[in-house]
Amino acid sequence: MEQRINEFIETRRAGGLLRSLCDVEPTAGAKVLIGGKEYVNLSSNDYLSIASHPDIVNAMQGAGVPASASSRLMTGTRKEHSLLEEKVAAFKGKEAALIFNSGYQANIGIISALCSRGTAVYCDKLSHASIIDGIKLSGAKMFRFKHNDMDHLEDLLSSGRGNYKNALIITETVFSMDGDTPDLKRITELKDRFDCMLMLDEAHATGIFGKNGSGWAEEADISASVDVLMGTFSKALGGFGAYAATSSSVREYLINTCRSFIYSTSLPVNIVLADSAGLDVVFSEPERRKELLLNSAYMRERLIEKGFRPLGGSQIIPIVVPDNKTTLRLSADLRKKGYWVTAVRPPTVPAGESRIRISLNYDHKRRDIDAFIEALAEVSGDQQW
Ligand SMILES: Cc1ncc(COP(=O)(O)O)c(C=O)c1O
């Protein structure tokens, strides 16, 4: 066993694929202190820059008795959990909601509760690991359609849907590593035509898109057609944990079958209050998401002017670089210039598609964006990606 472990580490190191942890201390203005040096942080999912908002910090610190010491079905449900679920349901325009301890737990639990051996699950090729793991855990037959390719999804449904009693389509509304969005109207048409359930992962869209900031389902006006709207509190909402907004009957079914929900201690009340405060900030400070999206469009335009080819259409702005070592080199050179931009490599993204993933936050202002693009152009030399 030990030999296998050491070989694995050496192979990853040799391929420029070994990952490691470092201690990070957030400072004001979307910056971080790492190893005693301050960097502009372009790798945080605190998109609205509200993790340090006084309302959220006060909620996090003021609850008094944080530990719940029990699962939700035992004695771990406090009125704060129930109130947050009502608030999420209203925010998402659904009948009911259920809170989970993390997005990972939500996806593996919900998918494996809804699906089983006789189910067909249709998911995007670039789906988050938690979606893939949930499908594997369920034992369902997995069909992966090409990234955001609705024609391919239609082909797969036309040729195979008839062989299965039940089917689920699942995709993300803003892809975590690509920053792009599928054609949601088309997905709902396919869902209806082929009689499937539809689940959307709004982890990176919640708080940012839609008239009220509830996500892409709201923006595309399709919430009523989605059976399960999953999302997290841990990104734009500045908190921690996750939720599924759904019908009352699916909520009841999940409470009775979803193992990652049933067999885990419930979120501490201070986190629940912080999550609720995060939702309030989304309601009360809509200018954050508006400015963030304007700045994201500005950054993308400026990058294109400089000859770069950024992906996506959101606050996530990835630039694909041909190989792992160049990605690492770019990331290291940007650090020397005071920018923390993580190099994302396989297996998080497909082989040959390593990238620097720029994650824009509300606290990044236009002067920061301009200065970063100059730095990126300098470390890229005459190569553009
Ligand atoms: C699309 C997507 N779904 C689910 C998750 C998991 O969420 P969490 O970090 O709350 O476990 C993430 C984040 O890592 C994600 O990007």
- CATH code: domain of residue 356: 3.90.1150.10
User: Could you read off the pLDDT of 119-154 as tens digits, one per residue?
Assistant: 999 999 999 999 999 999 999 999 999 999 999 999
Q: What is the pLDDT of residue 65?
A: 63
Contacts with 61 (C-beta within 8 Å, 6 or more apart), sequence order: 270
In a domain, 26, yes or no: yes
Task: Kindly state the tokens that stand for 61.
Answer: 């610190």
Q: Which of 204, 260, 296, 380 does the annotation list as catalytic?
A: 204
**Backbone phi, psi, residue 9, to 5°:** -60, -45
State whether 176 and 220 are in the same domain: yes
In a domain, 3, yes or no: no
CA–CA separation, 290 vs 296, rounded Å? Answer: 10
Q: What is the pLDDT of residue 295?
A: 98
In a domain, 326, yes or no: yes
The number of distinct structural domains making up the chain is 2
State whether 276 and 164 are in the same domain: yes
Q: What is the pLDDT of residue 48?
A: 98
CA–CA separation, 321 vs 328, rounded Å? Answer: 10
CA–CA separation, 312 vs 318, rounded Å? Answer: 7
In a domain, 385, yes or no: no
User: Could you read off the pLDDT of 341-367 as tens digits, one per residue?
Assistant: 989 988 889 888 999 999 999 999 999
* Ligand 1 centroid – CA 353 distance (Å): 20
State whether 280 and 347 are in the same domain: no
* Ligand 1 centroid – CA 104 distance (Å): 6
* Ligand 1 centroid – CA 374 distance (Å): 31
Supply the residue whose CA is at minimum distance from atom 7 of ligand 1.
Answer: 103
In a domain, 219, yes or no: yes
In a domain, 65, yes or no: yes
Supply the residue whose CA is at minimum distance from atom 9 of ligand 1.
Answer: 103
Q: For residue 330, give the amino acid letter.
A: L
Q: How far is CA 285 from CA 84, 86, 277, in A?
A: 19, 21, 12
Q: Which structural domain, as residue segments, surrounds residue 296?
A: 16-50+286-380
Q: What is the pLDDT of residue 29?
A: 86
Query: What would the mean pLDDT of 164-168 be, rounded to a whole number?
Result: 98
Percentage of residues in the chain having pLDDT higher than 70: 99
Contacts with 14 (C-beta within 8 Å, 6 or more apart), sequence order: none
**Do the beta carbons of residue 170 and residue 111 sit within 8 Å?**
yes
State whether 126 and 230 are in the same domain: yes
CA–CA separation, 362 vs 287, rounded Å? Answer: 9
State whether 190 and 251 are in the same domain: yes
Q: For residue 300, give the amino acid letter.
A: R
DSSP letter assigned to residue 97: E
CATH number of the domain enclosing 264: 3.40.640.10
User: Could you read off the pLDDT of 2-43 as tens digits, one per residue?
Assistant: 999 999 999 999 987 888 899 999 998 899 999 999 999 999
Q: Which residues line ligand 1 (CB under 6 A)?
A: 102-104, 107, 128, 130, 172, 176, 201, 203-204, 232, 234, 242
State whether 35 and 91 are in the same domain: no
State whether 159 and 199 are in the same domain: yes
Residue finishing a domain among 259, 284, 309:
284
In a domain, 122, yes or no: yes
Q: How far is CA 288 from CA 47, 273, 283, in A?
A: 9, 21, 10
* Ligand 1 centroid – CA 202 distance (Å): 9
State whether 41 and 78 are in the same domain: no
Place of tokens 């994201």: 296
